Amino acid sequence: MRDLASIRGFGPARLRALEDKGIRTSADLMERLPVGYRDTTQPLSPAQMLPGTRACFEGYIVGTPALHRVRGRQWVSATVADECGSVRCMWFNQPWMKDRLHADQHVVLYGTCTQKKNGRFVINPSEEEPGKIIPVYGQIPGVGQKVLRDAVGLLLSEYDEPDPLPAGLPERYGLMERGAALKEAHFPGSISALERAKRRLAFEELLLFQAAVAGGAGRRGAAHPARIPDEAEAAFWKGLPYRPTNAQRRVAAEIRSDMAKTSAMARLVQGDVGSGKTLIAFYALWLAVQSGGQGALMAPTEILAQQHWQSAGELLGRLGVTCGLLTGSMTAAERRRAREAIACGEWQVIIGTHALISEDVEYRDLRLVVTDEQHRFGVRQRTRLQAKGAFAHVLVMSATPIPRTLSLILYGDLDLSVVDEMPPGRRTVNTRIVPEEKRDGLYDFIRQQADKGRQTYVVCPTVGEEDMEDDGDPVPSATARQKEMQKRLPSLRIGLVHGRMNKQEKEDTVLAFRQGQTDVLVATTVIEVGVNVPNATVMVIESADRFGLAQLHQLRGRVGRGAEESWCFLMAEPNERLRILQETSDGFKIAEKDLELRGAGEVFGTRQHGAPEMPALMLTTDTSLLEETHRAFAELSSDASRRGEYEALCRAAQRRHGNRMENAGIN
């Protein structure tokens, strides 16, 4: 396959931009599938462009387009109509559109319709050629869509690579040939051909991924058994300030059984927001200490690590366990002191961030590693922490509910426990979708809650105003919203916290909120996990439609932790996705719907976390494919007559996911 540098238009600057996105070879570029398509084969009437519709439409320009200039902003407006109806179009910061468009001109446009106070509008629609399905690639600064399309088209015209699936398997499952599937995935000839291509590529990725993960299942290393007398365990439960749920007891028993064995535990504990997974983690850490060793808990953020450390000190400290904290923002002196306490065993339980896996951190006798919010970590980080101990058990915690079949594929090397019961006293959070025109009423409600001594979170998708919406308006940023609310609610104390603040600023701001010294905390998703303020009764999520359902559910879980009635307000125009949150508070049902609406690629986190590990999954929302590939892999791995196919599949998995297998200790 040709080198990227040999492709016309790929000079040094563009090659660097591609490399920044993880695209270093021609294969990388071909595997980076479109994130969407513009289907211009069946244009709609302007009358069919209803709010929320994203599609191609055609009609005629009515009258002369107008150029508007207001307070430094400029836009062109025009009405597009046919015999059935019309819709207004606006092009922000594109003054040349006034000269490109004229009365009675026939246009074919593509865009999203939105509802404004004065009617329906399509903002910044693009001009299109009818009769095509055009790929849309993820943005790469300095590399335009046409340049990408031309480069991919050239590579596909030369494609002649062997199929990674064993001979006979594609035909048996009715799969398209791989080369044809790649071509249809990038440049579909029809919607039906695109669906077949998506199925083939997603099937391949799921099957290879399962083969890679399964390579580590059943090959767990040795571990020190933690055998605890019944009376010692009874003392643990008796010392709790509250009564554990039956689900917590059941999962704790599964962990106790695992840790009593001479082979290492590898268990995933899933539970909805507020189900009490932290207690289960502390129980496992206590078992490790009782067996004579140390336990470590790795959290994704300093705020969450701080809270876990404080909670562990309160709960485990009463049982005589010494707990320490290690984070990346510590001073050199603090870090040196922490390393010494860990190395000599003075600290029996160590809680921290990625700093726990730094090369200069050595443990005296690490018996258990716990990773919290596992979706924030990769296998590499989990296994690097495990390698700090010679015989360490592994416990993985996730508050992001994942449908069971997807869990079996994604975490096939882990046993699964589900905490499916909520502690008594957890209240259902009232959830409402609030359009922008009702903001005044929302602020009145926040003021009323503050008058009653209750507190509010306001979560924004960005820190500053770098991002812009399609209509040219800035995305609500934490800094701008805090200033705006301070002006409109001058009697309230309004704090601000985001990831760009230094450690001390964040800690001081969150502490002030926890202690009731501020009424409103404006934040980014830095507060998605770990901030526990029972007095907070209101959660406002700005531009809620920019977040995934699972993340919205996580944010909603920050309130409803006390005895008072709590509310979550989703600032957005109503749509099907957001209505799901109004209808249910069951995280697993929400995750199932998220999977159905957005596809497995979204649930795997491929869009949120950079270069996708499985790009074809971003294309499909076919949830039945998860069941089908799981069944296919089980049949292939257990059928002695297909041993050759299974071994060929494992070799292909090694080539595709070698790093993952190596990181998991699979050779």
Taking only the tens place, the pLDDT of each residue in 388-443 is 877 789 898 887 667 666 776 667 667 888 888 887 767 789 999 999 889 999 99
Rounded Cα distance between 62 and 48, Å, is 17
The answer to whether the Cα torsion of 109, 110, 112, 113 is positive or negative is positive
Rounded Cα distance between 181 and 199, Å, is 9
Rounded Cα distance between 261 and 283, Å, is 17
Whether residue 36 has pLDDT greater than 60: yes
Whether residue 101 has pLDDT greater than 70: yes
Q: Rounded mean pLDDT of 219-244?
A: 84
The answer to whether the Cα torsion of 518, 520, 524, 527 is positive or negative is positive
Q: Rounded mean pLDDT of 527-551?
A: 83
- The stretches of 387-477 forming alpha helices (DSSP H) are 404-410, 439-451
Q: What whole-number percentage of the chain has pLDDT above 70?
A: 87
Q: What's the mean per-residue pLDDT of the chain?
A: 85
CATH number of 230-260+276-398: 3.40.50.300
Identify the pLDDT of residue 605: 41
Identify the pLDDT of residue 527: 73
Rounded Cα distance between 278 and 391, Å, is 23
- The stretches of 434-521 forming alpha helices (DSSP H) are 439-451, 478-488, 503-514
Phi and psi torsions of 553, nearest 5°: -65, -40
| Predicted confidence band of residue 55 (pLDDT cuts 50, 70, 90) | very high
Rounded Cα distance between 394 and 371, Å, is 8
What is the residue whose two structure tokens read 């494609």? 159
Contact 518, 495 (CB under 8 A): yes
Rounded Cα distance between 92 and 86, Å, is 20
Q: Which has more pLDDT, 663 or 383?
A: 383
- Taking alpha carbons only, the member of 366, 369, 389 closest to residue 379 is 369
Lookup: tokens for 30 = 């071909």
How many other C-beta atoms can be found within 10 angstroms of the C-beta atom of residue 388?
19
Q: State the architecture of 430-584 in CATH terms.
A: 3-Layer(aba) Sandwich (3.40)
Q: pTM for this one?
A: 0.67
Rounded Cα distance between 336 and 359, Å, is 13
- Please state, in angstroms and as integers, the Cα–Cα distance from residue 390 to each residue in 312, 396, 435, 562, following that order: 24, 18, 55, 42
Rounded Cα distance between 534 and 457, Å, is 12
| Predicted confidence band of residue 94 (pLDDT cuts 50, 70, 90) | very high
- Please state, in angstroms and as integers, the Cα–Cα distance from residue 289 to each residue in 362, 386, 570, 636, following that order: 17, 16, 44, 42
Domain residue limits, the chain = 43-127, 230-260+276-398, 430-584
Whether residue 6 has pLDDT greater than 70: yes
Q: What are the tens digits of pLDDT across the range 640-649?
A: 888 888 888 8
Identify the pLDDT of residue 470: 40
Q: List 396's β-bridge partners, or say none.
A: 268, 371
Whether residue 309 has pLDDT greater than 80: yes
Q: Do domains 43-127 and 230-260+276-398 have the same CATH topology?
A: no
Q: Name the E strands within 399-545.
A: 415-419, 430-434, 455-459, 494-497, 520-523, 536-541
Encoded amino acid at 484, one letter = E
What is the residue whose two structure tokens read 């915690």? 397
Q: Rounded mean pLDDT of 139-152?
A: 92
Rounded Cα distance between 368 and 501, Å, is 32
Lookup: tokens for 291 = 């067996």
Phi-psi region of 230 (alpha: psi -120 to 50; beta: other; left: phi over 0): alpha
Phi-psi region of 124 (alpha: psi -120 to 50; beta: other; left: phi over 0): left
Q: State the architecture of 43-127 in CATH terms.
A: Beta Barrel (2.40)
Q: Which has more pLDDT, 22 or 597?
A: 22
Q: Which has more pLDDT, 498 or 615?
A: 498
| Predicted confidence band of residue 118 (pLDDT cuts 50, 70, 90) | confident
| Predicted confidence band of residue 89 (pLDDT cuts 50, 70, 90) | very high
- Taking alpha carbons only, the member of 657, 664, 667 closest to residue 206 is 657
Rounded Cα distance between 561 and 558, Å, is 7
Phi and psi torsions of 316, nearest 5°: -75, -30
